[in-house]
Chain A
Amino acid sequence: MENLIEVKNVSKTFKVNKRANGIPGMVANLLVPKFEQKQAVKDISFSIKEGEMVGFVGPNGAGKSTTIKMLSGILYPDSGEIKVNGYVPYKQRKDYVGSIGVVFGQKSQLQWDLPVIDSFELLKAIYRVPEKVYQRNLERFTDMLNMGGFINQPVRQLSLGQRMRADIAAALLHSPRIVFFDEPTIGVDVVGKEKIREFIRELNRKDKVTMLFTTHDMQDIEKTCNRLIIIDKGSKVYDGTLFGIREKYGTTRQLDVEFKDNCEIEPIKNVEIKQIDELDGRKKRFIFENKDVQINELMNELLAKYNVRDLNISEPEIESIIRKIYSGKDVVL
């Protein structure tokens, strides 16, 4: 399949005014302003095929939103090449943006004072959506996102979850082939998030919409995407499957054991335990590398030597693996 999105060695730097605190800082800044170059995106390359659903994660300030904005033609990259759907976004903005949809979770594109439906009508006119397509999409989205109850209310009276759903529908009314989501679940409650994820999944599966998706909620990624790109401090640090990240980074496991009585654990033969934590009561937590330890050996040993009441093995969650990648430390659950 062809690459629908192609990003090659893209960098972007912002000039930031740096000023010291308080009034002296303000005066100094007025007289001699100091600027600092802040590199938001550093030599990033990746490509996305048609129909893919890719999670795009990274800590705050990693350059996710900047990348999305360059992909959607809002910002000019300083260097490098971007090609989406055959267009160079920032050069052919007006022709290009008709084929994409973008949701900025933090920036509503709805008209604050007007009912949701009026904003939709306006978008229909802007994107020249044929009446039939519009009606079909509207009906479908209203149903899937449960918007029937508030579609005639002014946007300023909506709750955040309602507004977000309306915003998502608004970005998709013109049936774009490519959708960029920039934190579409921010500030939405659990039920709302689930609705949004379901909607996004269905859109990808049924309509073959290609998606790039930034979020801070790993559940969003786990439940929707099969590929993950992680960036940190403007550079790409991981690009691969969700499963692959566990293999690569999530190598430690933990075993929680509750003993019947207090006991000291002696070193176990041939089993290299990295760390044993005392939990409350008579619980202990064994943390070890997957490759070093045969889990059945360890359990046999423990069950044979001690009075064990309960056992519980767990693998690190994606969330903690990501945390590890961000901080560059070993993963501790």
Chain B
Amino acid sequence: MMLKPYFAFAKKSFLKRSAYRFNHLMSIFNTCLQIFIFWGIYKALYGDRTEVDGITMSMVTTNFILSMGLSAVFYVDDYFLPSKIWDGSIANELLRPVSFKGKMIAENLGNAAFNFVFQFVPALLICVWTIGMKPPASPQMFVLFLVSAILGYGVLWSISFAVQMTAFWLVNIWSLTTIKTVFINVLSGSMIPLWFMPEWMRGVLQFTPFSSIYFTPVQIYLGQLSLQEICFQYLVQILWIIVIYFVGNLLWIKGQKKLVVQGG
């Protein structure tokens, strides 16, 4: 069983998350709070109107619940490698007869699974009960939405992977990670639904990986894309995953030769 160790990693990070119960409860609260805040802002902006540029308030609400909910599930530890380089524990990691990247994926997925069950689902229920959201356009669209959400996670993961690999040279990459997070928050549609972006901006964003993280799944959920467009968007997502992962992997191979274990 080649995958056994990776299941163990995933299980371990799942269990680890339940070690601090208060923190876990607060993060459900945190997810809801974020959604409520953005919902409140847009509610105020909409005022008495039911739609702006053809976008209804309930579409906006759905966008926030889905994209912020997904971002709670889409767990990527941006400091997985950097923290290990920074404190020298990378040495222990490299002693294991397993793939480091495989371990990274497994631990992230373990966390994502925890987040899905204990954070996304409760937060979703709370939000649906309080502010309500649109149902999926059709059962078929819902399935297609799930696929594209998983691909979206792939894009997000590979961006983080590539950024993390720079830690071999830079050690402290807090600033890079922060810039990355800001880009994702603003340009992926999770804070500002991309419908409201100016036309030229949406044109530019087409050529970046950000919109395929959250916005593509949301559009599919709402039934805004035709089957043909969905297939095209899938391709775009897959292409981004391949390209960004390739760059990250190059850094990973080079970086290992550069590695300096901190702290003796």
A contact residues vs B (CB 8 Å cutoff): 14, 65, 69, 72-76, 93-98, 100, 102, 104, 106-109, 111, 113-114, 118, 121-122, 125-128, 154
Give the chain A neighbours of B98 by CB distance below 8 A: 94, 126
Known contacts A106-B264, A125-B8; A111/B16 CB under 8 A: yes
Interface size class of B (residues with CB under 8 A): 20 to 34
- Ordered by A's residue number, 30 sampled pairs between the chains whose C-beta atoms are within 8 Å are A65-B264, A73-B94, A73-B95, A74-B91, A75-B261, A94-B97, A97-B95, A97-B97, A100-B95, A104-B91, A104-B92, A106-B263, A107-B88, A107-B89, A107-B263, A108-B92, A109-B92, A111-B16, A113-B16, A113-B19, A114-B15, A114-B19, A121-B8, A122-B9, A125-B5, A125-B8, A126-B97, A127-B96, A127-B97, A128-B1
B12 contact from A73, A102, A109, A118, Cβ within 8 A? A118
Would you give the shortest CB distance from B212 to chain A, in whole angstroms? 32
Count of chain A to chain B residue pairs whose CB atoms are closer than 8 Å in the complex: 74
- Complex-state Cα separation, A94 to B15, whole angstroms: 26
CA distance A93 to B259 in the complex (A): 14
B99 within 8 A of A: yes
A72 to chain B, nearest CB (A): 6
CB distance from A317 to the nearest CB of B (A): 26
Alpha-carbon distance between A113 and B7 when the two chains are bound, in angstroms: 19
A208 to chain B, nearest CB (A): 22
Partner among A73, A102, A104, A128 whose Cβ is within 8 Å of the Cβ of B5:
A128
Q: Kindly state the separation between the CA atoms of A76 and B12 in the bound complex, as whole angstroms.
A: 30
Closest chain B residue, CB of each to CB of A105: B264
Q: Which residues of B contact A122 (CB under 8 A)?
A: 8-9, 12
Residues of A within 8 A of B1 (CB): 128
Q: In the bound complex, what is the Cα–Cα distance between A59 and B261 (angstroms)?
A: 19
Q: Which of B4, B16, B95, B260 contacts A125 (CB 8 A)?
A: B4
The answer, yes or no, to whether B208 is at the interface (CB within 8 Å) is no
| Shortest Cβ distance from residue B83 to the other chain A in the assembled complex, whole angstroms | 12
Is residue B257 within 8 Å, beta carbon to beta carbon, of the partner chain? yes
**Are the C-beta atoms of B5 and A126 separated by less than 8 Å?**
yes
Does B138 touch A at the CB level, under 8 Å?
Answer: no
CA distance in complex: A76, B255 (Å): 11
Residues from chain B with a CB closer than 8 A to the CB of A127 are 96-97
Which residues of chain A are near B256, meaning CB under 8 Å? 76
Q: Which of B19, B90, B91, B96 is most buried by chain A, counting CB atoms within 10 A of its CB?
A: B91
Chain A residue contacts of B89, Cβ below 8 A: 107
**B183 vs chain A, min Cβ distance (A):** 25
A109-B95 contact in complex given A114-B12, A118-B15, C-beta closer than 8 Å: yes
A93: B residues at CB distance < 8 A: 94
Question: For residue B9, which residues in chain A have a CB less than 8 angstroms away from its CB?
Answer: 122
Using A76-B257, A114-B12 as known contacts, say yes or no to A126 and B96 having CB atoms under 8 A apart.
yes
Chain B residue numbers with a CB within 8 Å of A75 are: 259, 261
